[in-house]
Homo-oligomer: A and B are copies of this chain.
Amino acid sequence: MRDIKVSLVGYGIVGHGVVDVLTRKREILRDMGLNLMLVSVTDHTGTVLSEDGVDANKILGERTLANVATSSMKGKEAINAIDSDLMIEVTPTNIVHGQPGLGHMEAALASGKHVVTSNKGPLVVSYGSLKKLAEDNGVMLKFEATVGGTMPLISLVERTLVGNTILGVRGIFNGTCNYILTRMTEEGIPYAHALSEAQDMGIAEADPSYDVEGVDTAGKVLILANSLFNMNVKYSDVNVTGITGVTPEALALAKKRGYAIKLIGDVPALTVRPTLVPLDSPLAVAGTLNSAAIYTDLSGTITVSGLGAGSIETASAILTDIISIYRTKRIDAIF
């Protein structure tokens, strides 16, 4: 049995999902030989510490840790002080400066902790230097949950399609945009009405620009470009058009001809724009689903789809990353 001390930084929707999932899967993980102990949970109000594992029942009902914190430590101070093998970073995303996640990841990697994250910001801002910091410290940086939520993409390429050369990846990486375009098509309603409906349902934010202007999708395109294609590019290299100019008339005309209009991110083209997709293509998924077509030299085109967001779903992708850290062996290092 391998004992693994895990610290969680960030206690919003995804953070709650992580605590829930790690608790639910404790026995299954032990069956795999992994004794995962959540030794700390930190948010902007403080930290809950427990060497024997944080009790999920005591914190899952709390929106923040304000009432249950056992220490006032926050952020980098907590990361440096807490003895753990792996940090899960799920603070809010900022793709301009990457903070506070960037500082958290740097502190964790520099002190020899593996990092698993759903936070795009630090990877958009500093993928190359974070990757190098991980390598220099002999630890891993894993981020399946940053692109497409629970939809497996990075692990699919790195593990299942490992013998292939990846020629390109195109996909629907934003469930909010996909929902709006789907509803505009189904009901023939204008953008503003579909957006308003999505906001009522909690699928779009009050300020929807991060999603509908294509910023979120562009961040994901950038992460795929730098991680899967080693492109070393920055946000301004991505050519971005959002969905605010798409009309119900255009959607209806496309449908008549057998196409859907979807917001498609493309690597290595580094574009994000509304694109015609054949209705019978596996890429043309509806509602809040995400999808990705992976173009390969041997396997042809593999398409995958799944929910792009959700607390438990995102936590599930984080769990996959954690397991893969401890199950993957470096062939050259072992033999």
Residue numbers of A with Cβ under 8 A of B are 1-2, 21, 25, 28-29, 32-34, 150-152, 155-156, 159-165, 279-280, 282, 284-286, 289, 291, 296, 298-307, 310, 312-313, 315-317, 319-320, 323-324, 326-332, 334-335
**Chain A: interface secondary structure?**
mixed
Q: Which 10 A-B pairs have the closest CB atoms?
A: A33-B331, A33-B332, A298-B316, A163-B319, A152-B160, A280-B286, A150-B299, A329-B329, A282-B305, A302-B306
CB A60 to nearest CB in B, in angstroms, measures: 16
Chain B contacts of A304 at CB under 8 A?
A: 302-305
Chain B contacts of A159 at CB under 8 A?
A: 155, 159-160, 324, 327
Q: Are A319 and B306 in contact (CB under 8 A)?
A: no
Q: Which residue of B lies closest to A329 (CB)?
A: B329
Given the complex of chains A and B, what is the CA–CA distance between A151 and B1 in angstroms?
A: 34
Residue from A159, A285, A329 whose CB has the most chain B CB atoms within 10 Å: A159
- Copies of this chain assembled into the complex: 2
Q: Which of B2, B161, B289, B307 contacts A320 (CB 8 A)?
A: B161
Given the complex of chains A and B, what is the CA–CA distance between A304 and B152 in angstroms?
A: 10
Q: Are A291 and B282 in contact (CB under 8 A)?
A: yes
Q: Are B298 and A306 in contact (CB under 8 A)?
A: no
Q: Do A313 and B327 contact each other (CB < 8 Å), given the known contacts A28-B163, A161-B152, A163-B320? A: no
Q: Are A298 and B327 in contact (CB under 8 A)?
A: no
Chain B contacts of A305 at CB under 8 A?
A: 282, 302-304
Q: Are B280 and A284 in contact (CB under 8 A)?
A: yes
CB A138 to nearest CB in B, in angstroms, measures: 16
Q: Do A316 and B164 contact each other (CB < 8 Å), given the known contacts A302-B152, A302-B306, A335-B2? A: yes
Given the complex of chains A and B, what is the CA–CA distance between A58 and B69 in angstroms?
A: 71
Q: Are A160 and B320 in contact (CB under 8 A)?
A: yes
Q: Do A1 and B33 contact each other (CB < 8 Å), given the known contacts A280-B285, A299-B313? A: no
Q: Which residue of B lies closest to A284 (CB)?
A: B280
Q: Are A332 and B1 in contact (CB under 8 A)?
A: yes
Chain B contacts of A151 at CB under 8 A?
A: 302
Q: Which residue of B lies closest to A25 (CB)?
A: B163
Q: Which of B25, B155, B162, B319 contacts A323 (CB 8 A)?
A: B162
Q: Are A331 and B335 in contact (CB under 8 A)?
A: no
Q: Are B323 and A298 in contact (CB under 8 A)?
A: no
